[in-house]
Amino acid sequence: MRLYLLPQTFKGEGTVEIRGKDFNYLTRSLRLREGQKLTGRDRDGNLWDLCIEKINRDSCLLSAVPAEKAEERTDALPQAAPLKPIVLYQCLPKGRKADDIIKKATEAGVRDIVLVNSRNCVANLEGKEMSRLGRYDAMVTEAIQQSGSMVPTKVYGVIDLKDIPDDFEKRSAGSQKLGLVLHQSRIENQNNDLLQCTKGFDGTVAVVVGPEGGLEESECQLLLDRGFKAVLLKTNILRCETASIYAIGAIQTILESACQ
């Protein structure tokens, strides 16, 4: 574990009691013992020096001290500056594919993963949306811990494709926005080069990725009308679970590059 994600109830107290799944995780999976230290992060992104003070039968007590030099504590965290915000609008794929996409996107530090219903979606979360989102949250927590991500990734959904807002950056109004939609066929005057439109951009990038059957032309058009740019990836036809992490890799690499 690179970083232990503290429970949502933790509000900066000097000690925190851990029960249930997290208790099992720390004491059984990681086999931490009394006196061992680890680094934690709270839900606001602050880092904490933690120490296992006491292990009981079904709980353990951690002491928590604000970490002073964050960058020295979290070993091997490569990035110095915070990653630029990326929002993934992912049209809902079938179960295991969604898991795969959410894990990989979280590792890469995508800030928001918004699940979207589009015309060709085969999957349907109706009636099980809450339990599924709970499962995704657990996966996100695990992926954040594994990857040492400083981005508080969240999964939202399910929204309809027509409800993808043109002002998808709600959190920091006024900041620059760039909306991209991946499509598979050529659209007249809409073959934007991913490198060209992302290079040097400093703001929030949103990317819409279709479901197994792709986006329909009218759906693409609706997004273009809202200011999204259509991007034709210069590769073969990718499955949706490949397309999202492929595109995130490309977008993030270009956004974070020092070479402008």
Q: Which residues bind its own copies (CB under 8 A)?
A: 2, 76-79, 83, 100, 103-104, 107-109, 146-151, 184-186, 193-196, 199, 232-239, 241-242, 245-250, 252-254, 256-259
Of 51 and 77, nearer to its own copies (C-beta) is 77
Of 163 and 256, nearer to its own copies (C-beta) is 256
Of 23 and 246, nearer to its own copies (C-beta) is 246
CA dihedral 185, 190, 195, 198 (to 10 degrees): -120
Of 2 and 154, nearer to its own copies (C-beta) is 2
d(CA 194, CA 85): 17
Minimum CB–partner distance for residue 254 and its own copies (Å): 6
Minimum CB–partner distance for residue 98 and its own copies (Å): 15
Minimum CB–partner distance for residue 76 and its own copies (Å): 5
Of 83 and 224, nearer to its own copies (C-beta) is 83
Minimum CB–partner distance for residue 222 and its own copies (Å): 20
Of 45 and 249, nearer to its own copies (C-beta) is 249
Minimum CB–partner distance for residue 61 and its own copies (Å): 28
Of 155 and 245, nearer to its own copies (C-beta) is 245
Minimum CB–partner distance for residue 111 and its own copies (Å): 12
**Which residues does 210 contact at the CB level (< 8 Å), separation at least 6?**
91, 118, 120, 182, 183, 184, 240, 243
Minimum CB–partner distance for residue 81 and its own copies (Å): 9
* 3-class DSSP string for the chain: CCCEECCCCCCCCCEEEEEHHHHHHHHHHCCCCCCCEEEEECCCCCEEEEEEEEECCCEEEEEEEECCCHHHHCCCCCCCCCCCCEEEEEECCCHHHHHHHHHHHHHCCCCEEEEEECCCCCCCCCCCHHHHHHHHHHHHHHHHHHHCCCCCCEEEEEEEHHHCCCCCCCCCCCCCEEEEEECCCCCCCCCECHHHHHCCCCCEEEEEECCCCCCCHHHHHHHHHCCCEEECCCCCCCCHHHHHHHHHHHHHHHHHCCCC
Please name the amino acid found at residue 1.
M
